[in-house]
Structure 1
């Protein structure tokens, strides 16, 4: 497949620390591990990458980040919702985490498979709400009665059903 808009994958051509401030391969791997706890489809990918690193077949996962539309100094939306420069959530973003050991050339055909996908909705900063409460008036209160029973035979230490009924009736 060739990307319809190669600029979407332009940030994935370089390691994440060159595209997004404060994001490196380790933070991408940590994000993948933490999301694997919530998203079962990501767990096998995280396990395979970890085993490749443990066995020495890969020194670090070849993770790349792509985000569209790309805005300079925009944070990676997976780690930070709010753009500190704009002091507002970065709305309308598509974020991709790619495992690309051979690298990514944005304008060339790519092959791969999708591991997981989901959409996060950013709630609006203000929302009209209402609250309905069912409340009984002041006539609702706890019963003001106490039932006190005295054992008819103090020599018998246990109460039985018959003794209780005899004391209350």
Structure 2
């Protein structure tokens, strides 16, 4: 069994966690039940033509993956593994609403394509032009754990040396 280490980590959250000194600038929260993430300036990381086609979850995941890979000194990972509880719920809701509103006619494939659970891992791979192992776990609250376990197995089996592991979920108006 080979030792496996986490070389870097990145997160977009309700605090400005992409800032190097975010511990010094922590902000108190108000008493609202839903807290919004502090979003980065996406155009600094993603071409503008792609930004408008990406959901917020995909944009956040793309930026955090770039941060984590840069911090680890890795240009292209040997595998990309993402865990999610519900996938891209917002785009799934848009697609289903579109189906109902249009009586199942004249549907564009965009919302369907972006609503699939592997959208995040796929978009990260496309952005990196990474053609390596790419997998998404959709196991509710245990998705991240399964992603880490898969990464460890990939490394121990000699299939990969550097694995990008991520987890993402979103809060929508309905959920």
Bigger Rg over Cα: 1
Which TM-score applies when normalising by structure 1? 0.24
Which TM-score applies when normalising by structure 2? 0.23
